[in-house]
Amino acid sequence: MPSAPRSPMAAPRSFVWSRRVFLTLLTVFVAVPVYVMLSSSLKPLQDVSGEFRWLPGDLTLSPYVDIWSTVPLGRYFVNSLIVAGAATVCSVVIAVFAAYAVSRYEFRGKRVFTVTVLSTQMFPGILFLLPLFLLYVNIGNATGVALFGSRGGLILTYLTFSLPFSIWMLIGYFASVPRELDEAALVDGCGPLGALLRVVVPAAVPGIVAVTVYAFMTAWSEVLFASVMTNDTTRTLAVGLQAYSTQNEVYWNQIMAASLVVSVPVVAGFLLLQRYLVAGLTAGAVK
Amino acid sequence: MRRIRAAAAGAVTVSLLAAVSACGGGSASGGGSGDSPKKLTYWASNQGPSVEADKKILSAEIAKFEKETGIDVELEVVPWSDLLNRILAATTSGQGPDVLNIGNTWSASLQATGALLPWDDANFEKIGGRDRFVESAIASAGAEGKDPAAVPLYSMAYTLYWNKKMFADAGITKPPATWDEMAEIGKKISGDGKWALGAEGSNLSENIHHVFTFGQQHGTNFFTPDGKPDFTSDAAVDAVKSYVDLMAEHKIIAPGNAEYAQNQSLQDFAKNKTAMVMWQNAQTAFASHGMKDDDWGVAPIPVRSGDPGSGTGVNSMVAGINMAVFKNTDNLDGSLKFVKFMTSDAEQKALNTAYGSIPPVKAAQEDRAFDSPALRIVRDTLANSAAPLPQVPAESQFETAVGTAVKELFAEAAAGKPVSKDLVREKLAKAQQQMPQG
Amino acid sequence: MTATLAPPQGKRAAPGAARTPRRPGRLRRAWLPYLLLVPALALELLVHLVPMVYGLLMSFKELTQFYIRDWTTAPWKGLDNYRVAVDFDTPVGAALLHSFWVTCLFTALSVGLCWLLGTTTAVYLQESFRGRGLLRGLFLIPYALPMYAAVITWTFMFQRDNGLVNHVLVDQLGLFDEPPFWLLGDNSFWALLVVSVWKGWPFAFLIVMAGLQTVPRELYEAAALDGAGRWQQLRRITLPSLSSVNQVLVLVLFLWTFNDFNTPFVLFGKSAPQAADLVSIHIYQASFVTWNFGTGSAMSVLLLLFLLVVTAVYLLITSRGRRSAGA
């Protein structure tokens, strides 16, 4: 909604000024490290870790060429996309169903469920990293489903990382969708799931998008489990980037270049999604 | 309505299934579970300039082995950041490679798990005999008095790299042979943004390696003969203090080095800001920072007496990589064949040349490829004046506890606070209490 | 405590049910909520709860490198691992306690700042103005960068001799005579906090922004007609409408920050300076670096108990507060 209807209450000057000051400072805080990454990625290795200068002296694009041969960046990127993408889709779908059940039904065991799911959010990863690995190995030995070392195992792991929070957030969002809406849909002959898919989900789009972004980033950034549970063919970016720092050499400029290259699609995706963040309810679904 | 419900139930099931199995596109390289004797999994450590470079170097060599034996080797170069955790996970689950590289300081710790194949005489016989290897390298492959847990693959030692331009600028012609000379030369070079020596003060392993060498020179190896930690003896305190004093008292290491852990001292060296570094195998790193081979020289690390040798003349740890076989491998025969191949004279020459290290195999060491001035010093050091780090199961705890103590002492020194003997003893006492008891 | 998240149904559902002529159908569908919950529950059981039980068992065993190869045969140690962890007179216990306090302080500051920055920004960006979309995109960048890349960049900037931070503070602003260390000593705490906030606040921003979308515009318009200023609108409308979002957001930020392992690990490596020795990295060191999974697990279980208590108390307090506010 680029042209929001003119508000009846024009912003007072003091508000506009405080907004300007605050957002300027925040922009500096956010942008400086990004600028450092960008400028470092354009320097030859011997200049990168020299004394810091705002404007780089020699510029080179060679880090952007070298990143592909130092580390199999392309493969790691594809792995990350598959793992994070699949984990996100599964996680959001499962969370939508679960949140709908909790927000619209009274049933026995509801409290136990929500508390159990939430409590998993506080397990320190260190505690169950090795047990989980063992469990996957055992499942693999018993059923032949290879979970350790495979993308499937990682997808499974990550989707459970984001589930608890996603469910809780969606319960909140769904609760704010007026119940009269789905009841009207029920009257119109939809089943409860029809009501969910046709009424509740469209009305809660901003929440679902936020949760999607969250689930994606959780999987995209995770380091500890990926470092133990992947091998060379399934390694994800979050871990793979560390390979730019070898025993005797840290390729700073390539780390920065690779990080920027892989982040561009993600940021672009965010930008595409962000209009859904602000659409949704205010767009008039509830009237 | 029924249809919608069925569709929803279907969606749930599908998403579940997808999560559990269908999404899993990755191949599972379980290694040890391969029932076929024609298959091996090998985890190599990262020795060259990058993981990809290693893969090229090793694949070319491994192809020969595959052709010779018909055994298919699945190679994975594991970055250092993941290697130990991967090995731990493999050890606990029994699901790991058949053959793997380990840092030689981990030997005794991993040996204690019982997961690695012990190299008794019979096994050594299958790869050509124990006496093909340099004895100090074998000594770094497991606890004394036990069959080694691994076989040495690449050897390295610490040497002193010196920056010729900075030496010339200060009017000095030759690198120091004793620590007194080091302090003296250091005073001449240091100043005006230039410093004599570099250190990686926040890198726990580097700290341990250097402190260990100082310890040898003061007559201690931080453990009692029966393997109990002994960090607070006078010799240990003196050893740690003399290393930290290079910054605290002599002021020849820049205070900023206290936070170095990412090889920043090599960059300072290449930028003519630091005149000397104590390093293993720094030549490729220098080259990538734009230094030419004749910009720097190599010398043995100073010792108190000026004359490197055994006992208090030790001036380096035995550094290097060992090759181990997982005991539960399903292809023991193939694994031994592979180790034999990798430690054969020809492969030792090829691999160590590629990585700039020294072969721990005597016959290969004689090769002219390892006779450059720089490598000759490494070779002499390994042969005469290097000692293995204490081969005790608690080695990794030792690295963490004492390495952290040294890091904290460097931080004190960098902040300009005095580093007294009492302070050193206090930090070491704390480190000792963190060691496993009994 | 869950009642607040799912507002009481009975009252409001009743009119709808009355209008629906198919009551028996509703009853037949009693199994539906369970069906909807099964996937989530099954997965959490598999990936979290079962391994968790393993972890609990581990904490009663002696799991040093001598035994890790076969856990089942490792000797039982009873409560010994716990005794080691909570004996605050020994260096191990004292270090754990110290690390616990550091983590508490760090978490409180980090969560507070993340929430404050996120909420303020979301509120400021609620009304459209030129460049709003651009800023929104920019602010999400820290969240979109791979964790390792983001933190390593900060390490780079915090270097004492060549870093940007000292370049600005010492060379350009002249605030210090000697360049301070940021990755060593007491300053490391602040360095860690800055990085954590930089990485974490966009998440709060994202969630609050999405939450604000559900606040009906009419409320603001009505308030403006009543003569309520910006500050009063914020206090009377915005914050109360966000309360259910905030309840979860703050809790989750708390749990993550408290358990955060990646940030200190990339920033400081295997051994963090004492001033920034977070519990997660402390436990990692106790279990992975020194190969003592028994003691490490015991520490984790203690940590978990603490988090459970805090969470329960938090939910009780916030739920009661909201219930009375809503009444």
Q: Is residue C231, in this structure, part of any structural domain at all?
A: yes
Question: Which of B92, B259, B262 to probe the C interface (max C CBs under 10 A)?
Answer: B259
Domain residue limits, chain A = 13-60, 70-283
Closest by Cβ to C290, choosing from B114, B397, B415: B397
pLDDT of residue A4: 44
Mean pLDDT confidence for C43-52: 89
Residue B143 CA to residue C168 CA, distance in Å, equals 52
Contact yes or no for A122 and C304 at CB 8 A? yes
Q: Is residue C13, in this structure, part of any structural domain at all?
A: no
pLDDT of residue C11: 38
Residue C188 CA to residue B3 CA, distance in Å, equals 60
Give the closest-approach CA distance of A198 to chain C in angstroms: 17
Higher pLDDT, C192 or C269: C192
Residue A157 CA to residue A262 CA, distance in Å, equals 22
Count other C-beta atoms under 10 Å from residue C288's C-beta: 21
A74 close contact with C: CB closer than 8 A:
no
Question: Which of A43, A52, A174 to probe the C interface (max C CBs under 10 A)?
Answer: A52
Contact yes or no for A69 and B52 at CB 8 A? yes
Instruction: Tell me: pLDDT of A118 over 90.
Output: no
pLDDT of residue B242: 95
Closest by Cβ to A49, choosing from B8, B78, B267: B267
B276 close contact with C: CB closer than 8 A:
no
pLDDT of residue C286: 82
Mean pLDDT confidence for A100-129: 85
Question: Which of B2, B3, B4, B161 to probe the A interface (max A CBs under 10 A)?
Answer: B4
CB-CB contact of B157 with B386 (8 Å): yes
A15-49 per-position pLDDT tens digit: 889 999 999 999 999 999 999 999 999 988 878 87
pLDDT of residue B36: 54
A3-16 per-position pLDDT tens digit: 444 444 567 788 88
The pLDDT-based confidence of B35 (bands split at 50, 70, 90) is low
Contact yes or no for C54 and A131 at CB 8 A? yes
Give the closest-approach CA distance of C64 to chain B in angstroms: 8
**Helices within B289-420 (DSSP H only):** 332-342, 345-355, 362-365, 373-380, 395-414
Domain residue limits, chain B = 39-156+319-387, 159-317+394-433
Contact yes or no for B93 and A97 at CB 8 A? no
Contact yes or no for C43 and A32 at CB 8 A? no
Mean pLDDT confidence for B220-244: 94
pLDDT of residue A134: 86
Mean pLDDT confidence for A55-71: 88
Instruction: Tell me: pLDDT of B229 over 80.
Output: yes
Q: What percent of chain C has pLDDT over 90?
A: 30
Residues of A in contact with B8 (CB under 8 A): 97, 193
Q: What percent of chain B has pLDDT over 70?
A: 91
How many interchain CB pairs under 8 A, B with C? 94
For the domain that residue C275 is a member of, what is the CATH number?
Answer: 1.10.3720.10
Query: What DSSP letter does each residue of B97-154 carry, written as one string?
Result: -SEEEEEGGGHHHHHHHT-BPP--HHHHHHTT-GGGB-HHHHTTSS-TTS--SSEEEE
pLDDT of residue B289: 84
Contact yes or no for B26 and A234 at CB 8 A? yes
pLDDT of residue B141: 94
Residues of C in contact with A26 (CB under 8 A): 117, 121, 139
Contact yes or no for A134 and B93 at CB 8 A? yes
Residues of B in contact with C273 (CB under 8 A): 408, 411
Contact yes or no for B400 and C161 at CB 8 A? no
Closest by Cβ to C148, choosing from A30, A242, A280: A242
Q: What percent of chain A has pLDDT over 70?
A: 93
Same fold, B39-156+319-387 and B159-317+394-433: yes
Contact yes or no for C16 and A179 at CB 8 A? yes
Residue C75 CA to residue C58 CA, distance in Å, equals 10
Comparing A177-191, B109-123, B271-285, C146-160, the range with the smallest average pLDDT is: A177-191
Q: Is the pTM of this model over 0.95?
A: no
Whole-angstrom CA distances from A285 to A208, A282, C12, C127 are: 15, 7, 20, 20
Give the closest-approach CA distance of C252 to chain B in angstroms: 24
Give the closest-approach CA distance of B18 to chain A in angstroms: 8
Residues 31-60 of chain B with CB under 8 A from chain C are none
Contact yes or no for B254 and C69 at CB 8 A? no
The pLDDT-based confidence of B182 (bands split at 50, 70, 90) is very high
Closest by Cβ to B259, choosing from C64, C71, C183: C183
List chains adjacent to chain A, taking adjacency as at least 3 C-beta pairs closer than 8 Å.
B, C
Higher pLDDT, C130 or A92: A92
Which amino acid is it at B284? T
Instruction: Tell me: pLDDT of B161 over 60.
Output: yes
Q: What is the ipTM of this complex?
A: 0.84
Residue C203 CA to residue C246 CA, distance in Å, equals 12
Mean pLDDT confidence for B323-341: 94
What CATH number is given for B39-156+319-387 in this structure?
A: 3.40.190.10
Q: Is residue C192, in this structure, part of any structural domain at all?
A: yes
C240-292 per-position pLDDT tens digit: 888 878 888 898 899 989 988 889 988 988 778 989 999 998 888 888 877 88
- CATH class entry, domain B159-317+394-433: alpha beta
Q: What percent of chain A has pLDDT over 90?
A: 31
A135-189 per-position pLDDT tens digit: 898 888 888 888 888 899 999 999 999 999 899 888 888 887 888 888 888 888 8
Mean pLDDT confidence for B223-227: 89
Contact yes or no for B9 and C273 at CB 8 A? no
How many interchain CB pairs under 8 A, A with B? 170
List chains adjacent to chain B, taking adjacency as at least 3 C-beta pairs closer than 8 Å.
A, C
DSSP element (H, E) containing C280: helix C279-284
Give the closest-approach CA distance of C290 to chain A in angstroms: 14
Give the closest-approach CA distance of B173 to chain C in angstroms: 29
Shortest CA distance to A154 belongs to which of A97, A87, A208? A87
Task: Of A86-95, A221-230, B301-310, C66-75, give the range with the top mean pLDDT.
Answer: A86-95
Give the domain range for residue C311: 82-326
pLDDT of residue B16: 37
Instruction: Tell me: pLDDT of B180 over 90.
Output: yes
Residues of C in contact with B94 (CB under 8 A): 69
Domain A70-283 has CATH 1.10.3720.10: yes
Give the closest-approach CA distance of B98 to chain A in angstroms: 15
Query: Which residues, other chains included, contact A276 with Cβ-Cβ below 8 Å and sequence gap of 6+?
Result: A205, A206, A209
Burial class (CB in 10 A: 0-12, 13-18, 19+), A201: middle
Backbone φ, ψ for residue C267 (5° rounding)? -70, -45
Mean pLDDT confidence for C177-192: 92
Mean pLDDT confidence for B385-393: 92
Q: Look-up: residue for tokens 């740890």?
A: B317
Mean pLDDT confidence for B68-79: 93
B5-27 per-position pLDDT tens digit: 444 444 444 333 333 332 223 33
Give the closest-approach CA distance of B64 to chain A in angstroms: 22
B77-135 per-position pLDDT tens digit: 998 888 988 998 899 888 889 999 999 999 999 999 999 999 999 999 999 999 999 99
Mean pLDDT confidence for C156-163: 89
Closest chain A residue to B50, measured at CA: A70
A112 close contact with C: CB closer than 8 A:
no
Q: What percent of chain C has pLDDT over 70?
A: 89
CB-CB contact of C267 with B262 (8 Å): no
Residue C90 CA to residue C84 CA, distance in Å, equals 8
Contact yes or no for B400 and C285 at CB 8 A? yes
pLDDT of residue B219: 93
Residues of A in contact with B89 (CB under 8 A): 130, 133, 228
The pLDDT-based confidence of B347 (bands split at 50, 70, 90) is very high
DSSP element (H, E) containing B299: strand B296-299
Contact yes or no for B113 and C91 at CB 8 A? no
pLDDT of residue A281: 38
**Helices within A188-251 (DSSP H only):** 192-195, 201-203, 205-221, 224-229, 237-240
Contact yes or no for A26 and C300 at CB 8 A? no
Closest by Cβ to C221, choosing from A8, A119, A270: A8
Closest by Cβ to B393, choosing from C65, C92, C268: C65
Contact yes or no for C43 and A7 at CB 8 A? no
Q: What is the DSSP letter of C168?
A: I
Closest by Cβ to B24, choosing from A70, A146, A231: A146
Q: How many domains does chain C contain in total?
A: 1
